[in-house]
C-alpha cells in the first residue's frame, strides 16, 4: 500500500508540472523512470512513452519518445486516443527456476500500471507498462470480448537521440549478420533485426531493444529507421519472406494482448546479466521436465560437411563425446543417406553403446523454403511429427534440430510453437536453426534448448569474409545476441574449417564460457580436442553449459569481454580480445564470497596464438591478477573452492 501511495503521489506531482505529461512511475529500485505524454498536451490525441535512467542520482533520458498505437483493419487506435484512466500500480514480484540459461533462479520485480484509452468510436485500448529493476516492458491489449480483425500496422517507434552510440544487425531472415557500430557521424538507415544495443551520449546508460512472449496471436517484428534515421519503428515481416507464403499482417481475435516490447536498461553489466526477456514470458507449460537435460554435443558438420553420410565419421564423433564427457552427439543433414558400414539404426546403437544420446537434424520442409535437403517434410504437420517422434524415441534420440524457417510471419510462429508442443509430448528437446532470435520461449517451453540465429563458426565453412571480422564479432555477441537467449554459435575450434580463423587458442577456449547455449555444439574435429594440452582438455571435459549465475567483469562491444559464470560453488571465467593489438587486463575477484579461498586454474594465451600458458594459483575476494591477451586472444579459468 505504501508503494502504491508513493506512485500515485508521483503521478499527481509530476503530471501537474510536466508539459503534456499524464503519468510517471518508477521501478521498485527507483532506477528506471517511465513517463506517459500526450503530443497535443491534451486528453485526446497521440501518445508516447519516455524512458529515463537514474544512475546514482544522475537522471539520463535514454529514449526521448516511444510512439504507441495500432492500426486495425476496422479502425485506428493511434491518432485520436482519449485517455480514460491509469489503474492502480501493482507490484510484480516473481521468482522462477530456469533449467538452462544464464541464471538458475530468476527474480524479477516491477511496478505495473494499466493505462486505459478509447478511440472516437469508444472502442477500448489498454497499454500495460511495467518498470522493472533492469528495464521496461509494455504491451497492448484490446479488452473487448469479441471480434476478429487484422492488425494493419503497429505504430510503436523508438526515438533515439543522435548522440547515442548503437550496435545493430541488418535484417535478414536467418538473423546471421554482423553487427554494425554507429555513432553520431555514422547513423545508417534501413531495416534492423533484434536485439539492438544503444549507449547514451553521456555514456551513463545502456539499453537493448527487443520483444518477448510472441505467441500464435501475432508475428515477429523488426526495427526500421528507413523513413527517419532517428526513429526505429516496429515493422511486420516482409511479404516476400518464406517464399512469399503466409500473411505478413497478423490476424487477431479479441480479447487480445500483443507481445511485450522490451527495453533492458542500466549499466552494461545489467544488460549482460538480465533475464528480462524470459521474465515477461509465459511460465512453463511442461509439468514434468526431468527429461530436459542441458549439455555439450559433438558435431561433425564444421569439419566434415557431409560427415553424417559416413557411418564411421558418426562413430568417431560419438567416441569424441564419450572421451570428453559430453552427453550428446548430433547427426546433421544427410543421415538418411548414411553408408560406409552402417545406417541410422546402426549409428543409434553405436552411440548408445558409448553412453551418449544422439540428436538429429531435419529440414523444416514446407513450401516456405527452397532448400531441398532431406529429410524434408517430417516436421511439417502434427501427424508427421507424431510419427517421426515415435520412431526417434524408440531409437533413443534425445532431441531434434529443425532448420530453414526463413520467415517470422504469424503462420511460422505457429509452426515453431507446434513443433515445441509436439516434441514435449515425446520428451524431445528442440534446437531451431536458420531461425528466429529467441523471444522468451525457453521459459514457456524449456525443451527449447537453443537457437542458431547468429553468424557463428559455421560461416568459416561458407565464406572467407568471416575470418577477419570474427574476433570483434565474438566480442560483440555477449552484449547483444546472447543477452536475449541461448545462442548456438558452434564454438571452440582449434583446427581450421574450409576457411581459416585468426582467433587464438585462448580465445577459442574462452568461448565455452562466454557463449551460452542449452546444448552447446562443440564444432572441431576429434583431433582438435585430443591434441590439446591436458589443462585445456580437462577444462572442456568439465565446463558446464547451464549456469546458476552470470556476471560481466569487464568489456566493451567489439573490443573485449570478460565474464564470470557460476555453477554450484564453482566459478568459470572467459575473456577475449576482439582487437588487433595485445593488451593486459586486470581481473578482479571481488565477485567471490567472503572468507572462501579458491584454486584458480588459468589457461591464457602463450607465446603465440596456438600456445597456452597455464597457471595454478590460490585467490580470494581481495585478489587481482593481470592477464596478457594476444591480439585476437583470450583466456579461460576455473575457480574451485578450497
DSSP 457: G
Q: Which of 18-27, 202-211, 346-355 shows the lowest mean pLDDT across its residues?
A: 18-27
Grid coordinates representing 532 are 590439446
Mean pLDDT, residues 117-123 taken together:
97
Integer Cα distance of 460 and 290 in angstroms: 36
Burial class (CB in 10 A: 0-12, 13-18, 19+), 92: middle
In 418-569, at which residue ranges do the beta strands (DSSP E only) sit?
429-432, 448-451, 519-522, 549-556, 560-567
Q: What is the CA radius of gyration of the chain?
A: 25
Residue 629 pairs in a beta bridge with 583
Please give the mean pLDDT across all residues of the chain.
95
Write down the pLDDT at residue 288.
96
Mean pLDDT, residues 151-178 taken together:
97
Integer Cα distance of 317 and 332 in angstroms: 12
Asked if 446 and 489 touch (Cβ cutoff 8 Å), the reply is no
**Dihedral sign, Cα of residue 8, residue 12, residue 13, residue 14:** positive
Class of the domain covering 2-279: mainly beta
Q: Distances in Å between the alpha carbon of 629 and those of 493, 537, 608, 617, 635?
A: 18, 20, 10, 18, 7
Phi, psi at 467, each rounded to 5°: -55, -55
Write down the pLDDT at residue 496.
96
Integer Cα distance of 179 and 169 in angstroms: 4
CA 343 to chain centre: 36
Q: Distances in Å between the alpha carbon of 481 and those of 200, 331, 557?
A: 19, 26, 12
| Fold match flag (2-279 vs 295-542) | no
Of the candidates 175, 27, 194, 29, the one whose C-alpha atom is nearest the C-alpha of residue 111 is: 27
In this prediction, residue 219 has a pLDDT band, given cuts at 50, 70 and 90, of very high
Q: Tell me: pLDDT of 14 over 80.
A: no
Q: Distances in Å between the alpha carbon of 74 and those of 122, 127, 477?
A: 13, 19, 42
Integer Cα distance of 234 and 243 in angstroms: 22
Integer Cα distance of 241 and 172 in angstroms: 9
- Taking the CB of residue 94, how many other CB atoms lie within 10 A of it? 12
Integer Cα distance of 513 and 539 in angstroms: 10
Q: Tell me: pLDDT of 233 over 90.
A: yes
SS (H, E, C) 403-434: ECCCCCCHHHHHHHHHHHHHHHHCCCEEEECC
Grid coordinates representing 473 are 564479432
Write down the pLDDT at residue 1.
37
Integer Cα distance of 278 and 511 in angstroms: 23
Class of the domain covering 295-542: alpha beta
Pairing of strands 179-182, 295-299: unpaired
In 317-374, at which residue ranges do the beta strands (DSSP E only) sit?
328-331, 357-363
In this prediction, residue 4 has a pLDDT band, given cuts at 50, 70 and 90, of very low
Residue 333 pairs in a beta bridge with none
DSSP element (H, E) containing 94? strand 90-97
Asked if 515 and 477 touch (Cβ cutoff 8 Å), the reply is yes
In this prediction, residue 11 has a pLDDT band, given cuts at 50, 70 and 90, of very low
Integer Cα distance of 135 and 29 in angstroms: 11
Q: Tell me: pLDDT of 146 over 50.
A: yes
In this prediction, residue 19 has a pLDDT band, given cuts at 50, 70 and 90, of low
In this prediction, residue 235 has a pLDDT band, given cuts at 50, 70 and 90, of very high
Grid coordinates representing 635 are 583466456
What does the pLDDT look like over 399-440, one tens digit per residue?
999 999 999 999 999 999 999 999 999 999 999 999 999 999
Write down the pLDDT at residue 185.
81
- Taking the CB of residue 375, how many other CB atoms lie within 10 A of it? 17
Mean pLDDT, residues 522-551 taken together:
98
Write down the pLDDT at residue 598.
98
Q: Tell me: pLDDT of 158 over 70.
A: yes
Of the candidates 22, 202, 37, 102, the one whose C-alpha atom is nearest the C-alpha of residue 486 is: 102
In this prediction, residue 57 has a pLDDT band, given cuts at 50, 70 and 90, of confident
Write down the pLDDT at residue 9.
39
Phi-psi region of 584 (alpha: psi -120 to 50; beta: other; left: phi over 0): beta
Grid coordinates representing 248 are 505478413
Of the candidates 135, 161, 151, the one whose C-alpha atom is nearest the C-alpha of residue 260 is: 135
Write down the pLDDT at residue 18.
53
Asked if 403 and 209 touch (Cβ cutoff 8 Å), the reply is no
Integer Cα distance of 502 and 491 in angstroms: 14
What does the pLDDT look like over 246-293, one tens digit per residue?
999 999 999 999 999 999 999 999 999 999 999 999 999 999 999 999
Asked if 436 and 175 touch (Cβ cutoff 8 Å), the reply is yes
Q: Tell me: pLDDT of 13 over 50.
A: no
Q: Output 17 or 106, whichever has higher pLDDT.
A: 106
In this prediction, residue 177 has a pLDDT band, given cuts at 50, 70 and 90, of very high
Grid coordinates representing 588 are 578482479
Of the candidates 510, 491, 512, 515, the one whose C-alpha atom is nearest the C-alpha of residue 501 is: 491
Of the candidates 477, 475, 460, 504, the one whose C-alpha atom is nearest the C-alpha of residue 610 is: 504
Listing DSSP states for 367-386 in one string gives: TT-----SS-STTSSHHHHH
Phi-psi region of 282 (alpha: psi -120 to 50; beta: other; left: phi over 0): beta
Please report, for the chain, the start and end positions of each structural domain, with discontinuous segments joined by +: 2-279, 295-542
3-state SS class at 553:
strand
Grid coordinates representing 295 are 549439455
Of the candidates 159, 163, 193, 198, the one whose C-alpha atom is nearest the C-alpha of residue 181 is: 198
Integer Cα distance of 320 and 427 in angstroms: 25
Q: Tell me the CA end-to-end span of the chain in Å, nearest whole number.
A: 47
Amino acid at each position: 500500500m505504501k508503494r502504491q501511495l508513493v506512485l500515485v503521489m508521483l503521478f499527481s506531482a509530476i503530471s501537474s508540472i510536466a508539459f503534456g505529461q499524464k503519468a510517471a512511475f518508477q521501478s521498485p529500485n527507483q532506477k528506471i523512470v517511465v513517463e506517459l505524454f500526450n503530443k497535443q498536451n491534451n486528453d485526446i490525441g497521440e501518445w508516447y512513452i519516455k524512458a529515463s535512467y537514474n544512475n546514482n542520482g544522475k537522471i539520463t533520458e535514454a529514449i526521448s519518445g516511444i510512439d504507441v498505437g495500432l492500426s486495425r483493419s476496422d479502425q485506428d487506435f493511434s491518432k485520436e486516443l482519449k485517455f480514460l484512466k491509469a489503474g492502480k500500480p501493482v507490484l510484480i514480484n516473481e521468482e522462477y527456476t530456469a533449467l538452462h540459461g544464464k541464471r538458475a533462479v530468476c527474480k524479477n520485480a516491477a511496478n505495473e500500471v494499466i493505462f486505459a484509452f478509447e478511440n472516437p468510436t469508444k472502442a477500448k485500448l489498454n497499454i500495460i507498462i511495467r518498470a522493472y529493476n533492469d528495464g521496461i516492458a509494455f504491451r497492448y491489449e484490446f479488452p473487448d470480448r469479441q471480434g476478429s480483425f487484422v492488425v494493419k500496422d503497429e505504430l510503436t517507434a523508438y526515438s533515439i537521440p543522435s548522440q547515442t552510440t548503437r550496435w545493430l544487425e541488418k535484417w535478414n531472415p536467418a538473423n546471421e549478420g554482423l553487427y554494425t557500430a554507429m555513432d553520431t557521424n555514422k547513423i545508417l538507415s534501413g531495416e534492423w533485426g533484434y536485439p539492438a544495443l544503444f549507449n547514451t551520449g553521456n555514456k551513463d546508460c545502456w539499453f537493448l531493444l527487443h520483444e518477448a512472449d510472441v505467441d500464435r496471436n501475432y508475428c515477429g517484428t523488426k526495427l526500421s529507421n528507413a523513413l527517419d534515421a532517428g526513429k526505429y519503428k516496429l515493422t511486420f515481416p516482409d511479404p516476400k519472406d518464406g517464399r512469399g507464403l503466409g500473411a505478413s499482417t497478423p490476424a487477431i481475435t479479441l480479447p487480445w494482448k500483443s507481445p511485450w516490447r522490451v527495453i533492458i536498461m542500466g549499466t552494461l553489466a545489467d544488460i549482460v546479466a538480465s533475464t528480462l526477456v524470459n521474465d515477461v514470458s509465459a511460465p512453463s507449460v511442461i509439468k514434468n521436465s526431468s527429461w530436459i537435460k542441458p549439455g555439450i554435443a559433438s558435431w561433425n558438420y564444421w569439419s566434415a560437411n557431409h560427415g553424417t553420410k559416413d557411418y564411421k565419421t558418426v562413430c568417431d564423433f560419438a567416441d569424441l563425446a564419450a572421451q570428453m564427457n559430453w552427453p550428446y552427439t548430433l547427426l546433421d543433414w544427410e543421415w538418411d543417406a548414411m553408408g560406409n558400414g552402417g545406417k541410422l539404426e546402426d549409428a543409434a546403437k553405436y552411440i548408445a553403446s558409448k553412453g551418449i544420446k544422439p540428436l538429429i537434424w531435419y529440414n523444416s520442409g514446407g513450401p516456405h523454403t527452397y532448400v531441398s535437403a532431406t529429410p524434408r517434410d517430417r516436421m511439417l504437420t502434427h501427424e508427421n511429427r507424431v510419427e517421426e517422434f515415435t520412431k526417434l524415441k524408440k531409437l533413443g534420440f534425445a532431441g531434434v534440430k529443425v532448420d530453414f524457417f526463413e520467415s517470422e510471419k504469424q503462420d511460422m510462429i505457429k509452426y515453431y510453437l507446434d513443433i515445441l508442443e509436439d516434441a514435449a509430448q515425446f520428451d524431445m528437446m528442440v534446437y531451431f536453426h536458420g531461425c528466429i532470435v529467441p523471444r522468451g520461449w525457453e521459459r514457456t517451453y524449456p525443451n527449447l534448448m537453443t537457437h542458431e540465429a547468429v553468424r557463428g563458426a559455421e560461416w568459416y565453412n561458407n565464406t572467407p569474409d568471416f575470418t577477419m571480422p570474427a574476433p570483434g564479432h565474438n566480442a560483440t555477441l555477449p552484449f547483444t545476441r546472447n543477452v536475449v537467449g541461448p545462442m548456438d554459435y558452434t564454438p571452440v575450434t582449434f583446427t581450421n574449417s574450409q576457411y581459416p580463423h585468426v582467433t587464438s587458442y585462448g580465445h577459442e577456449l574462452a568461448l565455452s564460457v562466454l557463449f551460452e547455449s542449452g546444448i552447446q555444439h562443440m564444432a572441431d574435429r576429434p583431433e582438435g580436442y585430443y591434441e590439446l594440452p591436458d589443462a585445456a582438455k580437462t577444462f572442456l571435459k568439465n565446463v558446464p553449459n547451464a549456469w546458476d549465475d552470470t556476471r560481466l567483469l569487464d568489456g566493451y562491444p567489439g573490443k573485449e569481454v570478460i565474464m564470470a559464470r557460476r555453477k554450484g560453488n564453482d566459478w568459470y571465467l572467459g575473456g577475449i580480445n576482439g582487437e588487433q593489438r595485445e593488451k593486459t587486463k586486470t581481473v578482479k575477484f571481488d565477485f567471490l564470497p567472503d572468507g572462501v579461498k579458491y584454486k584458480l586454474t588459468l589457461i591464457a594465451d602463450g607465446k603465440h596464438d596456438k600456445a597456452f600458458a597455464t597457471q595454478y594459483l590460490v585467490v580470494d575476494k581481495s585478489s587481482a591478477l593481470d592477464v596478457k591477451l594476444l591480439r585476437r586472444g583470450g583466456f579461460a579459468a576455473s575457480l574451485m573452492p578450497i
